[in-house]
C-alpha cells in the first residue's frame, strides 16, 4: 500500500469521525475523535470473532505507519508553530519566568518523581523493571502535550493568564521533555559508565539552546522577508517554508526542532511583527491557513492515537500497571509544580488553585505514545507502551472532559 492510499484512508476516516462528532456528540474535536476511534476499534475487535477482514485491514494500515517518525519528525513542527503563532505573546512575556520554570525544572523533577514512584509501585503487582527504565517512562510521560492542551482549553473557560501559563508550558516542555528522554535513553542504551556528565550537559545544551537560537533566526528571516513584500499568497508560503526548511535544518544540526518551531512561531506571531510585516489581508490568510492545517493534522493525529490500540500487548498486569500509574503521574505533577508556583505567586498574579488546575489541565497525548514506541524491547517497551496509552487515554477523555467543570466548580475568573 503506497503512502498516498494510506494518507487518503486516514483523511477519509478523520472526516467521517469528525462529522459524527460535530453532528451528534458535539465534544471538543480532540476528545470526540479519540473516543469515536477507540469505540470503532473495539467494535472491529468484536466483529473479528465473526469476520476478521476489517481488523486485518486496520492492522495493516497501522503497521505501515511509523507513528513515532511521523509525529516527532514531521507533524509536531507544524502543530507547534501553529500553536505558538496564535499564542498571546504579551501575556507569555509577562509569564515567561514561571513558564520557563514549569517547562524545565518542573519536567525534570516530575521525571524523577514518576520514575521513583513507578519503581516502588510496580513490584506490588508483580512487575520488576530496572530504575533506568522507570526513569524513561517518567521522562516520556512528564511533558504535557500542547496539541491536546490547545484544543481543549479553548472551550474550558480557563482564565487567560492561567491559560497562558498552561499553553506556554506545554509548548516548551515537550521540546525539553524530548531532550531529557533522549539523554536517559542514551544512558539506558550505552550504560551509565559509558556516558560522561559532560556529554549529558552538551547534549542538553546543544539541543535546547541550539533549537531556541535557530528559532529566533528563522523567525527574524521570516519577518524580514514578509516585511519586504505585500503579497499574501507568497507570505503564507514563506511561513510554510520556514517550518519545513527549519525542521530539516534542525534535524541535520541535531538540535531541537520542536523548540525551534515554537520560538519561530512566537516571533512571527507577536503583535509587533504582525503590525510591521503583515497587511490585514495577509494576517487573515496566514492565521486561517495555519488554523486549517492545525485542525487537519490534529484530526489525523487523534484518529491515529485511537488506532494505536492495535499495536499494544494487552495483559492483565500491564493494564493494572497503567491504572496504577494514573494517580501516581497526577500526584507527581502536582508536587513538581509546587516549588515554581510558591516562588512566583507573590511576584505575579496567580489565580487561586493554579496548581490544581495545571495538574488536571496538563494533558498527555501523542508525544508520550510516540516516545514509548521508540523504546527497544530490552527497555520493557510493551509494558511501558501500555502504561503510557492508559495514562494518555485517561488524560484526554476524563481530564479533558472535566477540566472546564473543575474551573466552574472552583469559581475561578
- Give the C-alpha distances (Å, rounded to integers) separating 311 from 13, 373, 382: 19, 10, 9
pLDDT along the chain (413 residues), means of 10: 84 95 90 92 92 89 88 91 87 86 93 97 95 96 82 70 84 88 90 82 86 96 96 97 97 93 94 92 95 90 91 91 97 93 78 88 90 92 96 93 84 66
So what's the pLDDT on residue 160? 76
Question: Nine-digit cell at 178?
Answer: 524530548
Question: Nine-digit cell at 351?
Answer: 489565580
So what's the pLDDT on residue 413? 61
So what's the pLDDT on residue 75? 92
Radius of gyration for the chain, computed over Cα atoms and rounded to the nearest angstrom: 21
Q: By the 8 A CB rule, do 115 and 185 touch?
A: no
End-to-end CA distance of the chain: 52
Question: HSE-up of 349 (CA within 13 Å, CB side)?
Answer: 6
Residue 351: helix, strand or coil by DSSP? coil
Closest by CA to 254, choosing from 327, 302, 190, 205, is 205
Ranges of H-type helices in 48-159: 53-64, 67-69, 76-85, 89-94, 96-101, 107-121, 131-141, 146-153
So what's the pLDDT on residue 290? 95
CA dist 117 and 225 (Å) reads 50
Q: What is the pTM of this model?
A: 0.93
So what's the pLDDT on residue 245? 97
Q: By the 8 A CB rule, do 246 and 214 touch?
A: yes
Q: By the 8 A CB rule, do 92 and 168 touch?
A: yes
Question: Nine-digit cell at 159?
Answer: 482564565
Amino acid at each position: 500500500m503506497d503512502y498516498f492510499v494510506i494518507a487518503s484512508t486516514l483523511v477519509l476516516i478523520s472526516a467521517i469521525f469528525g462529522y459524527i462528532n460535530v453532528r451528534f456528540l458535539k465534544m471538543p474535536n480532540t476528545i470526540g475523535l479519540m473516543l469515536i476511534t477507540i469505540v470503532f476499534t473495539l467494535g472491529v475487535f468484536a466483529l473479528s470473532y465473526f469476520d476478521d477482514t476489517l481488523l486485518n485491514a486496520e492492522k495493516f494500515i497501522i503497521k505501515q505507519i511509523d507513528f513515532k517518525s511521523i509525529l516527532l519528525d514531521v507533524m509536531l513542527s507544524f502543530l507547534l508553530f501553529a500553536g505558538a503563532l496564535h499564542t498571546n505573546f504579551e501575556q507569555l512575556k509577562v509569564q515567561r519566568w514561571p513558564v520557563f520554570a514549569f517547562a524545565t525544572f518542573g519536567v525534570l523533577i516530575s521525571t524523577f518523581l514518576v520514575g521513583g514512584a513507578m519503581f516502588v509501585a510496580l513490584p506490588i503487582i508483580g512487575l520488576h523493571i530496572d530504575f533506568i527504565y522507570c526513569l524513561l517512562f517518567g521522562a516520556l510521560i512528564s511533558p504535557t502535550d500542547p496539541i491536546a492542551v490547545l484544543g481543549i482549553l479553548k472551550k474550558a473557560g480557563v482564565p487567560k493568564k492561567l491559560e497562558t501559563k498552561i499553553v506556554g508550558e506545554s509548548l516548551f516542555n515537550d521540546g525539553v521533555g524530548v531532550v531529557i528522554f533522549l539523554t536517559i535513553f542514551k544512558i539506558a542504551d550505552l550504560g551509565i559508565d559509558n556516558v560522561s556528565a559532560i556529554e549529558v550537559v552538551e547534549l542538553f545544551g546543544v539541543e535546547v539552546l541550539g533549537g531556541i537560537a535557530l528559532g529566533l533566526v528563522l523567525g527574524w528571516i521570516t519577518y524580514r522577508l514578509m516585511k519586504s513584500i505585500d503579497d499574501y499568497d507568497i507570505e503564507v508560503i514563506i511561513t510554510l517554508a520556514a517550518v519545513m526548511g527549519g525542521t530539516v535544518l534542525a534535524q541535520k544540526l541535531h538540535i531541537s526542532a520542536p523548540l525551534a518551531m515554537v520560538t519561530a512561531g512566537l516571533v512571527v506571531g507577536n503583535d509587533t511583527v504582525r503590525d510591521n510585516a503583515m497587511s490585514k489581508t495577509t494576517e487573515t490568510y496566514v492565521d486561517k491557513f495555519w488554523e486549517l492545517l492545525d485542525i487537519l493534522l490534529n484530526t489525523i493525529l487523534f484518529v491515529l492515537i485511537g488506532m494505536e490500540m492495535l499495536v499494544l500487548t494487552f495483559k492483565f498486569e500491564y493494564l493494572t500497571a497503567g491504572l496504577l500509574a494514573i494517580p501516581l503521574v497526577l500526584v507527581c505533577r502536582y508536587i513538581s509544580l509546587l516549588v515554581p508556583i510558591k516562588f512566583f505567586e507573590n511576584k505575579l498574579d496567580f489565580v487561586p488553585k493554579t496548581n490544581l488546575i495545571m495538574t488536571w489541565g496538563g494533558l498527555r497525548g501523542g508525544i508520550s505514545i510516540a516516545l514509548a514506541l521508540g523504546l527497544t524491547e530490552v527497555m520493557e517497551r510493551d509494558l511501558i507502551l501500555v502504561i503510557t496509552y492508559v495514562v494518555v487515554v485517561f488524560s484526554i477523555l476524563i481530564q479533558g472532559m472535566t477540566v472546564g467543570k473543575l474551573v466552574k466548580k472552583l469559581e475561578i475568573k
